[in-house]
Structure 1
Amino acid sequence: MLAAVLKPKSKKAVSKSSRKGKKAWRKNVDITEVEEALEKIRDEEKTLGGKLSDISTESLFSIDVKGDSEVKKKVDKKSVKLHIDQVLENRSKIPGVFSKPRPNYGKNHTSKYTKMMLEKLAKKNYIEKNANNTESSDVVMKTGEYDLWAQADDQSEDVSHSIMKQKKIKPPPTLNMKPAVNTPAIHLPHSGSSYIPLFKDHQELLMIAHEEEVIKLKKTQHINSKLPCPVVVPSEQNIENMIDESDEKSSEEDEIELEEIIEKATSQTKEQRRKTKAERNKEKRKRVKIREEEQRKTHKDFMKKFEKLPEIIKTVENECAEHEKMMIERTKLAEEMTKMPKKKIGKYRVRKAPIDVKLTEDLEGTLRLLKPEGNLFRDRMISYEERNIIEPRVPVSKKRKYKLKEYVRNSYKNS
């Protein structure tokens, strides 16, 4: 017989690895036992809903009251679940994770909807109870008793509404006021415009007409001055004069530049030298002296003004009195201006009537040879405008609506 001597199996030699540092420790430490234990706990939670040690024996074991499962299978053959439904069925006892945590109020909690419905019911019951006790409304009180089938003796009220009523146009306050225009309808002509005028009167009227013409000429000259100047062609003499002037100016400019350069050089040499302590102290004393003189002057001026205070008060009072008088005069002027006709109504100003005057050569001694000057219709229109009866207008020239088109006509069509 062969006696086999069985030696106990030796453990596998575990290869040692470095555990120097956190990284090496995490990498080389064996945590399989911990992972297995955690996986076992997870399986228990899935199947039983918690740890096996924590669950009570009553919940683990139960008394079978349902009966034989094979008999049930035979009875409920028709209500067998499909394989796809069985696959999709949730077997885990761990509840699903919700996005928002739901508050657990308890058994006695009532939702907002139930509260609202209860309030509605309470109001409804209260209205039904107090329906008979309420007083008659305004509509019931206003409606009178009348016979529906009565004759036409009853007075029929006129039905009127705010929409049917037309609002009256509010007239302006100046509608019934009398016009306060002081201008006369017809202006008396100047004595110099007579057919046999006096020499003095005629000369006076001529001077008035002359002044008006001068004003018109000044206006036209002012407008022409604003317009661009005409181009002047330079002559030979003008060119020579311009060259001489430019040479003189250039020589003067060169002299000025030289003087400026010399001044800058001297100022730089002065600035480069450093001031001594005595010079600085002297400048400081000078500044202090100037400041003291300024303070003395201001104090002196203040004292003078303080002494003249009663005179200043009197002058202020006089100025106030003058200002009040001026304001009264202004109000009077404004009242007078309201009575005077307006110089501008609408877009254009009121025209001024032209002076109808004849020169000394054109004067005739008799009415038979007299030639009429001016226009009566024009005078009437201007008087209407002056009295603000008619709005002043200006003659508008007709403008072409469409531009003229130019067509090139061939020579053979002209024949």
Structure 2
Amino acid sequence: MSVVKKKKRVSKKNKKAWGKYSDIRDVEEFLEDQRLEERLGKFETKPDSELFVVDTAGDNDEVEDKKPISHKLQKRAKLKELPKCFEVLLPTSKVQDPNAKRNHVNPIGFKPTALSKLKQKKLEEKGVFEKKLQEAKKNRQLARDKKRKAKQVRQNFSKDLWGQDLPESKGIPETLVDEFISPEAQLHNVLPTQRLRPKPPLAKTVVTRAAVEAPHPGVSYNPSYQEHQELLQQVGQHEMKMMKREAHLNRVTTGMFRRVTQQEKENQWREEMSAGLPQPHNPANDSGSETDNEYKAVNPPVKNKKKDHKARRKQRERLEEKERLKREKIDKKKITDLYRLRKLQSTIQTREQKQAEERAKRLEKRAATEATALPALSAHKTPVKEPDFVDPKQLSGDLRNIQSTTNLLRDRFESLQRRGALAASKVMMKKKRKLKSYFKPGHKVTEKDIEKYVNRNVKKK
């Protein structure tokens, strides 16, 4: 039997002392039971099927043999159950919602909006859904054909499974096949024409072009007067074009900036540098009025003069008249636009027709350029051929006294690049470093050596 100790008499005037020396375990147990009932539900409200189990087997130990369920049926039965990952989201408490009249909020996308209906209608009119269905049907058919093709049994049995290592498969003819000679030696004796790969054919644009471009007849050492004058006109036009281009570049770069004299430049610099600095006192600028003792405010007061009824009426009438004229102008423009509809329609039709013709011309031109375009062999542009011309004074009339103006090797090399047979390249020249020479004085150096060194440097400069 437990002995009940007598409680000490303690003061409970403070909240801390009351909680320390008061026994509230019975209240806490009651509240804990009440919370547990709220979570799990009260026993009075639960049905008997949850509290009791009906024993149908009895005391007999014999249990009926049940057939084991297949894995497929087990999976199918688990489809109805809630997944384990979603059990965390379910409420564990049986406490009812304190707000019984809570508004139900539908999730986003629960009900289609007017905008979504309009969008779906437009897609149906365009045939997007029908196109998707046709594509899905086509993909299913392709997958079915692919699967059927993979299942088909090979009907041709003429393939030699053991012919991979034979000498004939390596390109060795039957005349050189010998079991006593190694395959390396047999392959070594095969002619090179039988071993090398055939060269790929050239591009169509290279094949269609002429091997060598025919020069202008005026470039000849003994041209006719008419051909020489025709070439002279072409060269003159080319030079005029280059001069116009150079003048344009000079105009939009150097010519845009005005030239300033040295004195103006110094004055501008002095004015800019002295901005914000106190200016020196000039007695000539002082006026006699400043000597007076009369006080003048910097910002004189402004009188708040109110408008009378007449001024306000006039202002209102002016605004109304301005608005009326504006309205009349808009109405007049509407009427003129109605009369101009026929003219606008004809101009639109002519413009569309013109655009269609220009589009057809552009397509035709693009097709012609693509047919004769060079293959993109490198990132550099092909060199443009400059027109050749021989001055009339240098024309000799015979091959013995002719003077060559161009480099034949360079000309042929650029011709191959222009025809697409070679990749266009760029001349990369390394700059030669200028070596400085120094004069090392010594006890054996004479004045003649110094004079010679100075003269040599003067000549170089």
Q: TM-score range by the shorter chain?
A: 0.3 to 0.5
Structure with the greater alpha carbon radius of gyration? 1
TM-score scaled to structure 1, two decimals?
A: 0.44
